[in-house]
Amino acid sequence: MDIAGFLASVPLLSGLDPAELARFADMTRERAYPKGSVILFEDDPGDSLFLVKNGRVKVVLIGEDGREVILGILTVGDHFGELSLIDGNPRSAHVIAMDDAQLIVLRREDFRRRVVESPQVAWALLVEISRRLRRADEQIGSLVLLDVDGRIARLLLDAAAESGSPTIQKRLTHQTIAQMIGARRETVSRAMRQFQDSGLITVQRRQITIANRIGLERLAQLRV
Q: If pLDDT is split at 50, 70 and 90, which confidence band does 142 have?
A: low
User: With contact defined as beta carbons under 8 Å apart, do 93 and 59 qualify?
Assistant: yes
- The reported pLDDT for the residue numbered 1 is 60
Higher-pLDDT residue of 216 and 83 is 216
> pTM for this one?
0.74
Tell whether the model's pLDDT for residue 222 goes beyond 80.
no
Backbone φ/ψ region at 154: left (φ over 0), alpha (ψ -120 to 50), beta: alpha
CA distance 33 to 54: 10
Spatial contact of 76 and 54, defined as CB atoms under 8 Å apart:
yes
Three-state SS letters, 125-148: HHHHHHHHHHHHHHHHHHHHHCCH
Measured at the alpha carbon of residue 168, what is the angle toward residues 167 and 173, in degrees to the nearest 5? 130
In this structure, of 40-54, 74-88, 94-108, 161-175, the range with the lowest mean pLDDT score is 74-88
**What backbone torsions phi and psi does residue 58 show, to the nearest 5 degrees?**
-120, 145
Average pLDDT over the chain, rounded to an integer: 86
Domains and CATH numbers, the chain: 3-135 (2.60.120.10), 146-219 (1.10.10.10)
> Cα dist. 165→66, 110, 168, 170, 219 in Å?
35, 37, 7, 12, 20
